[in-house]
Copies of this chain bind each other. A is one copy, B any other.
Amino acid sequence: MLLPAPAVPGLPLADVDTPALLLDLDAFERNLGTMTDALRPFNVRWRPHAKWHKCAEIARRQIAAGAVGVCVQKTSEAEALVAGGVQDVLIANEVVGRGKLARLAQLGKSARIGVCVDDAGVVADLDAAARADGSRLDGYVELNVGANRCGVEPGAPALRLARIVSGSANLRFAGLQAYHGAAQHLRTIGERREAIAQAVEKAGDTRRLIEDEGLACDIVTGAGTGTFIYEGTSGVYDELQAGSYIFMDVDYGKNEWTESGIPRFEHSLFVWTTVMSRPTAERGVVDAGLKASSVDSGMPRVADVKGAEYVQASDEHGVLKLTGARLTIGDKLKLIPGHCDPTVNLYDYYVCVRGGKVEAIWPITARGAVW
């Protein structure tokens, strides 16, 4: 079922029904400008992750602001964004299976497509798929720089795989994917700086090893909102993937951000919700539960209202503990999602708001695109 848009431009925010996903355009645009300004002195490329916003309109605005293209995680996300006009997409993730590889090769005929690899067998399949379709794909060797998820180990294993990519007729060895996902939410600046120092060392040593073998290693790519300042000033990373900064969320808000030189981003994404029950003096219930705001990284936070804490989520209910907030049935509130990424994936549209009114409705182009 294609859901209808939840509002029309011009509608006062107060009249937007709930739950709805709100994008505060002023805050969003300030975040975009802050990142553009922050990156200017670094002399690095910027390829923001779009798995987070899944939206062709936002991708186009990021590219207009200077991004070279976007990252995604899934083949279907790449298809959706290329269809939405994005011409340069890196799938910052491994892709396996003949069906998906054939789709990638097909996509490579209408856009520049990069993909990560961590296995020689998959490289052979990828090369065969590109050959069958007469296209050419960029292959990035993914390094395990500390997240212990996918990726080959730095050094000799990465060199071996780089040689295989480089020797594949329909692939171009484009460089190294060196994203340290586990570092993004280390709470203190010291922990994040230290984790990235180790990633930088692993990526830098591996690049030298590869270049010493006579292979060009054009791009070392990685970084997220929690750490991009360290990759950006490392002299090793050529491309930054930070994406979450455009929205922020409660989880990122818990990071320590006080070091000089780290730009501050604002919350721009909210779940709009209605108080649907007031059973006791201390308890309110809102109509946004875990199908409206993902709780994998903790509860959402009530914005702009003091004395109201979102303490419990069930499928379609959120329980507020009230300690002073005066809320009555029908009142509408903004929630800051615990984790923006899976929250966005629950909705079909951003309701874009400015000055208390709906200014635009942006489709979430790649909502549900998991394969």
Contacts and interface: CB of A to CB of B under 8 A. Distances in A.
A56 B290 CA distance: 22
Interface string A51-62: 100000000000
A285 B329 contact: no
Chain A interface bracket (under 10, 10 to 19, 20 to 34, 35 or more): 35 or more
B315 A341 contact: yes
A205 interface: no
Contacts of A99: 15, 17
B313 A149 contact: no
A345 to B, nearest CB: 5
Interface string A99-115: 11000000000000000
Contacts of A290: 294, 296, 342
B148 A283 contact: yes
Interface string A302-314: 0000000000011
Contact of A20 (B122, B277, B371): B371
B342 A73 contact: no
Given A150-B279, A342-B290, A316 B369 contact: no
Nearest to A152: B279
A3 B368 contact: yes
A19 interface: yes
B148 A369 contact: no
Interface string A1-19: 1110010000000010111
B370 A316 contact: yes
B181 A314 contact: yes
A249 interface: no
14 contacts: A1-B368, A3-B369, A18-B97, A19-B370, A51-B316, A94-B276, A94-B277, A96-B275, A96-B330, A97-B274, A149-B319, A151-B277, A294-B296, A348-B368
Contacts of A278: 119
Given A3-B369, A296-B295, A315 B51 contact: yes
Contact of A371 (B18, B149, B369): B18
A365 B2 CA distance: 9
A97 B277 CA distance: 12
Nearest to A96: B276
A50 interface: no
A74 interface: yes
A349 B74 CA distance: 18
The 10 closest A-B pairs by CB, nearest first: A150-B277, A73-B316, A2-B2, A94-B276, A96-B276, A17-B99, A292-B370, A19-B370, A290-B296, A291-B345
Contacts of A363: 1
A71 to B, nearest CB: 12
Contact of A365 (B1, B100, B121, B291): B1
B1 A371 contact: no
A347 interface: yes
A329 B295 CA distance: 30
Contact of A276 (B51, B150, B292, B364): B150
Contacts of A100: 17
A88 interface: no
A76 B291 CA distance: 13
A208 interface: no
Interface in A270-293: 274-279, 283, 285, 287-288, 290-292
